[in-house]
């Protein structure tokens, strides 16, 4: 009953979405305010409707309705309630509902804003978001229905359908479900997919505004100003989704790393690349009236990559081209990406002449030129990633042979590009809009460059002689010094003219130009993350061996001793095998870590959860591997020492702060102006009295 209700509401929300799109198109063509309002209200209605449908699904998940195929596939009785709720996005069908729900929430939020000055955009924003929403609802209703039950058809095969197919019989009620994939039963997995999806979905909004600008011909930078904060939030969510995914991989997958250049990871990274390029290049349009066409291309690409990312992970195309052909939703996704891309590009071509720059580029070293170079580098990383993900599919299609494009390919290709990006991150903040010369830049940069060189020499003398690492540290130090110098110089200058103390000056400075200084904090955070990445990529050491009880092994200055082992029944239907490992450094006892293997009885799968000892200097990461049977006589351990990796996580916290500062809403200038004029009027009236 609940399933039928949830499905019914979903159909209703689809109808309402379609109505909203049609009404919006008619409103725009007939310039009808009442139709626009009708379309807006219909769009607002989709959110409570999809919410009702989602609540129905959550009810079915939480109360073990195993007659529903989706519930049977992703939950089991023993799962704790919070995991049953998060199983909502643990499977294909549910995650598509989740996508739709987020999109309707964001679209509602957008339609609720004040539209006074931008009324002409509204119908087209509704059309674009509505079509995207309708597409996802079609997927859910017709192809991946999470409310479908299981049936045996005439030939005795199990089929999923909402209502009993002709001649079919009901599958006997299942007493328990298969349970969520153990990999997904982790707090990181609870937050990671929603973050990533939030990032994906919120990029739809700036895209919708860009399309509205192209359709209406209002191609000034208004659409960019309107969506600047959306884009920043989208970028924050996407970035956080990526970092959380990395942390989850580090904690759960048990291979000692956080990023494996897996196609699924890359599919989320690609829109981040274009999104980051977009965030930088819109500044050029706002400041200099340049690159209007390019910004359009970037946001169209980002939207296409968002859908493409969902498509890559959902269509089965990655496991095999043939699986894609068999998948019901794969070809549809492909068609949708193609169609929206072609329509967007056609609109862009139509408006191409209106999007010419208002001024000219004056110097190859000006900030706008350096930002363009930054865009080129981001796009280059994108080309490498895209081609690396696509090539195995092409190879399989053309020759029938599958190939793997793995980490060595990506690392070799992207490392110099990332290095160049870091160099730019150091130079660009000190170049001026409009015009810079080698002399002006040189004078601005030499102190930071010198400090970076001295730092690198110290690192050379005390830490490492590895050339690649030294180049990395040189660039990191350079960016950090440049950024700190920018804070220092501006704060000191303000302090002198305003006679304030240093911290008040710094506070006012950051508060008054949040975008710039938020951006600088993001740069600093990126460099902290780069320290972590450099540390683990270059200095990671590992060893593996079978240890007898109380036997020690030496790695990276640590002595690791196998002390005890125990087996017990854990919550969530797990058989836990947990080792106690003593950790020493130069003979001094530091503490214990507890690597374990969780065997999930419902899904018959093992999970190897590392025991970690994290410090700013390095992470000791101990895994209990099942190469040999684990007994109290001996167990096989794989031990990693991951230097500096914690800076990656510290950097991500700072990143969060930086984006919050940059995206923090300013006082609405229009409202402030109105308030100011009101006050003046009141004062004048008082005076007159």
Partner 1 sequence: MNRILNQRSLRITYYVIFLLAIVLIPATIVHAQDPTPSDDQVNKIAGQLYCPVCENTPLDVCPTEACRQWRDLIRQMISEGKSEAEIKQYFAENYGARVLSEPPRTGLNWFVYVIPPVIILAGAFFLFRALKGWTKPVVASTTSDTSEAKPIAQDDYVARLEEELKKRK
Count of residues that interact with partner 1, criterion CB under 8 A: 71
**Residue selected from 97, 127, 300, 490 as contacting partner 1 according to rule CB under 8 A:** 490
From 177, 632, 124, select the one nearest 624 (Cα to Cα). 632
| Residue in the structure block whose two tokens are 């910004």 | 295
- 382-421 residues near partner 1, rule: CB under 8 A: 383-384, 387-388, 391-392, 394-395, 398-399, 401-409, 413
347 or 373: CB nearest partner 1: 373
18 lies in the binding site for partner 1 (CB under 8 A): no
Helices 367-399 & 263-288, crossing angle to 10 degrees? 150
Q: Which is nearer to partner 1, 44 or 183 (CB)?
A: 183
Q: Of residues 459-478, which lie at the interface with partner 1 (CB under 8 A)? A: none
Residue given tokens 């540290």 in the structure block: 473
Candidates 8, 188, 260, 289; binder of partner 1 (CB under 8 A) is 260
Residues 289-328 that bind partner 1 (CB under 8 A): 318-319
What 3 state SS string does 484-509 have?
A: HHHHHHHHHHHHHHHCCCHHHHHHHH
Burial class (CB in 10 A: 0-12, 13-18, 19+), 163: exposed
**Segment 193-252, which members bind partner 1 (CB under 8 A)?**
none
257, 259, 264, 269 alpha-carbon torsion, rounded to 10°: 160
| Minimum separation from the CB atom of position 99 to partner 1 (A) | 23
Among 112, 349, 493, 674, binds partner 1 (CB under 8 A): 493
Residue of the chain from 496, 552, 617, 671 that contacts partner 1 (CB under 8 A): 496
Residue 282: Cβ within 10 Å count: 25
Here the tokens at position 272 are: 């981040």
Least distance (Å) from partner 1 to the CB of residue 621?
A: 13
Q: Which stretch binds partner 1 (CB under 8 A): 6-14, 40-48, 79-87, 539-547?
A: 539-547
Rounded distance between C-alpha atoms, residue 529 and residue 531, angstroms: 5
Query: What is the H or E stretch that residue 660 is in?
Result: helix 646-663
Q: Which of the stretches 59-67, 217-225, 434-442, 526-534 binds partner 1 when contact is defined by CB under 8 A? A: 434-442
The single-letter DSSP state of residue 428 is: G
Kindly report the three-state secondary structure assignment for every residue of 81-124: HHHHHHHHHCCHHHHHHHHHHHHHHHHHHHHHCCCHHHCCHHHH
Minimum CB distance to partner 1 smaller for 87 or for 249? 249
Query: How many other CB atoms sit within 10 Å of the CB of residue 483?
Result: 24
Q: Which stretch binds partner 1 (CB under 8 A): 163-171, 194-202, 211-219, 509-517?
A: 509-517
Among 545, 557, 570, 591, binds partner 1 (CB under 8 A): 545
Question: Which residue, 335 or 403, is less far from partner 1 as judged by CB?
Answer: 403
Spatial contact of 292 and 359, defined as CB atoms under 8 Å apart: no
User: Should residue 436 be labelled a site residue for partner 1 when binding is judged by CB under 8 A?
Assistant: yes
Is residue 45 close enough to count as binding partner 1 by CB under 8 A?
no
Half-sphere exposure of 348 (CA within 13 A, CB side): 18
Q: Taking contact as CB under 8 A, which single stretch among the options 231-239, 487-495, 563-571, 674-682 is the one that binds partner 1? A: 487-495
Give the span between the Cα atoms of 579 and 595, in whole angstroms: 6
Token couple for 247: 């942390």
**DSSP readout, 170-201?**
EPPPPSS-----GGG-SHHHHHHHHHHHHHHH
In the complex, minimum distance from the CB of residue 610 to partner 1, in angstroms, rounded to a whole number? 12
Indicate whether 574 belongs to the interface with partner 1 (CB under 8 A): no
Q: Does 184 bind partner 1 (CB under 8 A)?
A: no
- Report the site for partner 1 in 357-386 (rule: CB under 8 A): 357, 360-364, 369, 372-373, 376, 379-380, 383-384
Tokens representing 415 are: 């490392």
Q: Which residue has the tokens 């199983």?
A: 87
* Of residues 618-637, those binding partner 1 (CB under 8 A): 626-627, 636
Among 5, 115, 418, 433, binds partner 1 (CB under 8 A): 433
* Shortest reach from residue 401's CB to partner 1, in Å: 6
Here the tokens at position 270 are 């690609």
Nearer to partner 1, 302 or 313 (CB): 313
Do 206 and 98 form a contact (C-beta atoms < 8 A)? Answer: no
33-41, 184-192, 213-221, 257-265 -> range binding partner 1 (CB under 8 A): 257-265
Residues 101-130 touching partner 1, rule: CB under 8 A, are none
Strand order in the sheet with 611-614: 541-548, 634-643, 618-625, 611-614
The binder of partner 1 chosen from 334, 606, 634, 657 (CB under 8 A): 606
Stretch binding partner 1 (CB under 8 A), from 183-191, 274-282, 489-497, 651-659: 489-497
Q: Considering beta carbons, is residue 120 or 262 the nearer one to partner 1?
A: 262
- 66/562 with CB nearer partner 1: 562
Q: 149-152 and 158-161 as β-strands: parallel, antiparallel, unpaired?
A: antiparallel
Nearer to partner 1, 61 or 482 (CB): 482
Closest-CA residue to 79 (of 575, 604, 568, 574): 574
* 3-state percent breakdown (helix, strand, coil) of the chain, nearest 5: 65, 10, 20
C-beta closer to partner 1: residue 111 or 374: 374
Which parts of 143-162 interact with partner 1 (CB under 8 A)? Answer: none
Nearest to 391 by CA among 410, 371, 416: 410
Tell the smallest beta-carbon distance from residue 183 to partner 1 (Å): 11
Cα–Cα dist 30/301, whole Å? 31
Contacting partner 1 within 513-532 (CB under 8 A): 513
Is the Cβ–Cβ distance between 274 and 280 less than 8 Å?
A: no
């Amino acid at each position: 009953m609940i399933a039928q209700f949830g499905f019914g509401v979903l159909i209703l929300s689809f109808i309402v979405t379609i109505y909203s799109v049609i009404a919006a198109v008619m409103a725009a063509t007939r310039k009808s305010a009442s139709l626009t309002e009708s379309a807006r209200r219909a769009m607002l209605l989709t959110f409570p409707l999809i919410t009702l449908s989602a609540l129905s699904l959550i009810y079915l998940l939480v109360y073990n309705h195993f007659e529903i195929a989706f519930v049977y596939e992703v939950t089991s009785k023993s799962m704790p309630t919070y995991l049953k709720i998060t199983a909502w996005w643990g499977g294909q069908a549910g995650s598509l509902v989740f996508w739709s729900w987020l999109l309707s929430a964001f679209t509602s939020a957008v339609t609720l804003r004040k539209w006074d000055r931008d009324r002409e955009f509204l119908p087209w924003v509704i059309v674009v978001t509505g079509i995207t929403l309708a597409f996802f609802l079609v997927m859910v209703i017709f192809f991946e229905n999470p409310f479908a039950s299981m049936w045996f058809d005439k030939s005795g095969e199990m089929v999923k359908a909402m209502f009993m197919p002709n001649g079919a019989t009901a599958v006997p009620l299942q007493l328990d479900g298969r349970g969520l994939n153990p990999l997904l039963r982790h707090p990181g997995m609870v937050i990671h997919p929603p973050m990533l999806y939030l990032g994906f979905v919120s990029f739809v909004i700036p895209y919708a505004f860009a399309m509205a600008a192209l359709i209406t011909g209002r191609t000034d930078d208004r659409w960019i100003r309107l969506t600047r904060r959306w884009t920043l939030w989208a970028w924050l969510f996407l970035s956080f989704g990526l970092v959380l995914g990395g942390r989850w991989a580090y904690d759960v997958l048990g291979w000692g790393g956080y990023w494996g250049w897996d196609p699924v990871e890359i599919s989320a990274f690609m829109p981040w690349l274009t999104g980051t390029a977009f965030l930088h290049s819109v500044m050029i349009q706002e400041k200099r009236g340049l690159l209007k066409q390019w910004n359009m291309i970037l946001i169209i690409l980002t939207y296409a990559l968002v859908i493409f990312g969902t498509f890559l992970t959902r269509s089965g195309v990655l496991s095999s081209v043939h699986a894609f052909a068999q998948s019901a939703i794969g070809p549809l996704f492909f068609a949708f990406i193609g169609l929206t891309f072609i329509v967007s590009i056609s609109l862009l071509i139509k408006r191409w002449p209106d999007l010419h720059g208002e001024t000219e580029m004056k110097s190859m070293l000006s900030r706008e030129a350096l930002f363009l170079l930054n865009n080129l580098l981001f796009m280059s990383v994108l080309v490498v990633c895209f081609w690396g993900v696509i090539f195995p599919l092409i190879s399989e299609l053309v020759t029938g042979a599958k190939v793997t494009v793995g980490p060595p390919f990506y690392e070799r290709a992207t490392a110099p590009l990332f290095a160049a990006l870091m160099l730019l991150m150091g130079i660009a903040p000190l170049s001026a809009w409009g015009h810079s010369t080698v002399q002006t830049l040189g004078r601005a940069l030499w102190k930071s460059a010198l400090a970076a060189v001295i730092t690198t020499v110290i690192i050379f003398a005390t830490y490492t002689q590895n050339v690649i690492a030294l180049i990395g540290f040189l660039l990191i130090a350079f960016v950090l010094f440049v950024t700190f110098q920018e804070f220092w110089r501006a704060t000191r200058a303000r302090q002198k003219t305003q006679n304030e103390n240093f911290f008040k000056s710094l506070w006012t400075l950051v508060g008054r130009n949040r975008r710039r200084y938020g951006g600088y904090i993001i740069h600093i955070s990126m460099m902290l993350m780069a320290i972590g990445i450099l540390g683990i990529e270059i200095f990671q050491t590992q060893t593996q061996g079978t240890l007898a009880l109380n036997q020690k092994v030496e790695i990276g200055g640590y002595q690791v001793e196998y002390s005890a082992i125990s087996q017990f029944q854990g919550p969530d239907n797990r058989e836990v095998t947990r080792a106690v490992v003593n950790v020493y450094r130069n003979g001094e006892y530091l503490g214990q870590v507890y690597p374990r293997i969780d065997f999930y009885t419902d899904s018959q799968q093992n999970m190897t959860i590392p025991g970690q000892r994290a410090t700013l200097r390095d992470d000791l990461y101990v895994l209990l591997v099942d190469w040999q049977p684990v007994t109290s006589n001996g167990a096989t351990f794989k031990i990693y020492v991951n230097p500096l990796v914690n800076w990656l996580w510290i950097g991500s916290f700072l990143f969060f702060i930086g984006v919050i500062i940059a995206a923090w809403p300013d006082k609405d200038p229009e409202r402030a102006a109105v308030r100011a004029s009101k006050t003046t009027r009141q004062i004048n009236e008082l005076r007159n009295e």
